[in-house]
Amino acid sequence: MDRKLILISILIILLAVFSCKGKTDPGQSLDNQETEIDYSQSEEPEVFPEPEPDSQSNPLKNFSYSWSESDDMPPVVIIIDDFGNSAGTLLEGFADLPDEIVFAVLPDLPHTETAARLARKTGHEVIIHVPMEAENSSISPGTNYIKAGMSASEITEVMADFMDQIPMAIAANNHMGSKATSHRETMLNVIAELKKEGLFFIDSATTSNSAVFTAASELDVFSTRRDIFLDVPDISDATLKTKIESLGKYKGRNEPIVIISHCHNQEKLDGLRKFIDQIQDMGIKIVSLKKAFPEARA
């Protein structure tokens, strides 16, 4: 009998041990699951502490570029697109960037007004990031946007609404728009509306068939174009090194270099900070739109 009791006891203990191993700590189960989170509407995106500074804190500085600081390098204009979706800590982080950084704000978004007002309050120039029709894209530019072939009266109504939402804007650039910006009559009507309010246009250059320069010239309105998309295809250190290396081809140019990045997440903010620190260390000046293009007029 004693032997049977011993065997039964051993079996009970073994069953208890295996049962415990099969369970998962409720406190760990959430940590181990990947959860999709939409931060686009988040007031306060989660903020992670910055790593302690070390020799790898900015690997861009350890990269050997084929050009060095030079008096022949033109200044840089940096425009950040797509403001209007986020507020809170992320927006404040972008607002803490140097005053010369330009905010391109999309209309009709939950935080359009918040982003535009904070930008102006913190000394940044503001431009309207005009949603425009793209060629062969399934993604909508927005709830209200400029379509190729729109009538003049329709464009007047849409542009008036956008300018009312962002009254402190000094210029505009296109959000998407490969189809709309290639349509001369459409761009004539868009730029005519900007001219009424003394605004000029910056072509984001999303198509090689852009009619922006032609339309602006016909209306005697200043326009310029984007040279570099900083965060395409991504904002990794490897991409940033490539973009910094590419600045060398602009040595000796009279016109400033126009760079566009985006405000979608903390990673893009961190990457932009590293880029700014590096080019400033190399002697490149960042300037505002007004300082870069004093001849800009409508």
Query: Per-residue pLDDT for the chain (298 aa), expressed as one digit of tens each?
Result: 555 555 555 555 555 444 443 333 322 222 222 222 222 333 223 333 333 334 355 678 877 788 776 678 999 999 999 999 999 999 999 999 999 999 999 999 999 999 999 999 999 999 999 999 999 889 999 999 999 999 999 999 999 999 999 999 999 999 999 999 999 999 999 999 999 999 999 999 999 999 999 999 999 999 999 999 999 999 999 999 999 999 999 999 999 999 999 999 999 999 999 999 999 999 999 999 999 999 996 5
How far is Cα 163 from Cα 275, in angstroms, rounded to an integer? 31
pTM of the model: 0.80
DSSP 92-152: HHHHTS-TTPEEEE-SSSTTHHHHHHHHHHTT--EEEEEEEPPTT-SS---SS-B-TT--H
Domains of the chain: 76-292 (3.20.20.370)
